[in-house]
Amino acid sequence: MTATAQPRAFEPLVLDFLAYLEFERGLSRNTLEAYRSDLLQVGAWMRPRGVDVMSATHADLAAFLTDLATGDPPERAPAANATLQRKAACLRSFYRHLRREEILDHDPTADLRAPRKDQRLPNVLSRDDVARLLAAPRGTDPAALRDRALLELMYACGLRASEAIGLTLADLDLEAGVLRAAGKGSKERLVPIGREAVNAVRIYVERGRPAFVGLAPEPHLFVNQRGAGLTRQGLYKIVQRHARAAGLDDRMSPHTLRHTFATHLLAGGCDLRSLQEMLGHADIATTQIYTHLSADRLKDVYFAAHPRATVAH
């Protein structure tokens, strides 16, 4: 903090930072809410320790992340790697903002890194698993047609849950076999749609969706029984219901379809840059996790098939 500056209340600084992220960086509402929660958690952690957020040191912030990683206090579960990385990124962004606004004259997060825990690769379905899941919505009633189209499209395009429920009719070009997805930070990308997904969506739009929306001018592609846009909770319930029917509920979430899409594409010969574009990853390092998934699959096949592999394995 500069010599002439006085300590400022933490909450107004957080609000100013969030406004900057929303209006100048265009970050999504979900990201803004996550950052708000992260910063309030930092404040709550520091308060009983007698640390002022404005005068916090690198050691203070590193200790905060370490406590999260180890689950301190003991009644709290250790934070996942992705959560730790997000919180570290939030802190770096927040303190850079304070430095840029000349509220601080130093940045305690310059070399801040989240502690790494053993990385757990995401669950991925086999091709047979996917076939069972996509066959789970049975019948021709509107809900079954919707659920089949939703699952087909999420697997065909590697959509995040927020992207799937945010799709509008205008985002689809079924003739060209492509959709426009609004990803993180409102960044749009075009993703090809496979033939099976195109057929499932076309049938839903023609025979299922009208039963939900009637003549209402609802723009969202996927809607609930009342004709309103599907919520994240609604999507989760649909995925879980059909995962249970397919015997996959113990290792299945909406994001599992995205991981499976990426792994199957890479195993089929898709190059990493193209996969990065289809997933909407800003950094190819994020996409590279799927090379590890494919390597694990190759090892499974190798050790199951090679007659002399069991000794070394």
In order of their start, the domains of the chain are 10-100 (1.10.150.130), 129-260 (1.10.443.10)
pLDDT of residue 228: 94
Examine the residue annotation and report whether 258 is marked as an active-site residue of this protein. Answer: yes
Residue 1 pLDDT level (bands cut at 50, 70, 90)? very low
Annotated catalytic residue, options 220, 258, 259, 264: 258
Q: What does the pLDDT look like over 92-144, one tens digit per residue?
A: 999 999 999 888 888 898 878 776 655 556 788 999 999 999 999 999 999 99
Catalytic member of 160, 209, 220, 259 = 160
The reply to whether 281 belongs to the active site is: yes
Question: Does pLDDT of 9 surpass 80?
Answer: no
Return d(Cα 131, Cα 247) in angstroms, integer: 12
pTM listed for this prediction: 0.62
pLDDT tens for residues 65-82?
Answer: 888 877 655 445 677 777
- What mean pLDDT comes out for the span 34-46? 89
Instruction: Point out the catalytic residue in the list 8, 184, 202, 232.
Output: 184
Q: Between 6 and 219, name the one with better pLDDT.
A: 219
pLDDT bracket for residue 159 (50, 70, 90): very high
Q: Does residue 174 surpass a pLDDT of 60?
A: yes
pLDDT higher than 50, residue 5: no
What pLDDT is stored for residue 313 in this prediction? 40
Residues 6+ apart with CB under 8 A from 51: 60
Tokens standing for 2? 């500069």
Query: How high is the pLDDT of residue 134?
Result: 96
Fill in the DSSP letter of residue 229: B
Determine the 3-state secondary structure of 140 from DSSP: coil
- 160 in active site: yes
DSSP-assigned letters across all residues of 5-39: -----HHHHHHHHHHHHHHTS---HHHHHHHHHHH
**Is the confidence at residue 208, as pLDDT, over 90?**
yes
Among residues 202, 241, 255, 297, the one annotated as catalytic is 255
Catalytic residue check, 255: yes
Express as a percent the part of the chain with pLDDT over 90: 45
d(CA 254, CA 243) in angstroms, rounded, equals: 10
Tell which wins on pLDDT, 305 or 253: 253
Task: Count Cβ neighbours within 10 Å for each residue of 70-93 and write b for 16 or more, e otherwise.
Answer: eeeeeeeeebebeebebbbebbbb
Q: Indicate if 290 belongs to the active site.
A: yes
Q: Which residues lie below 8 Å from residue 147, measured CB to CB, with a gap of 6+? A: 137, 238, 241, 242
What's the whole-number average pLDDT of the chain? Answer: 85
Judge whether 184 counts as a catalytic residue: yes
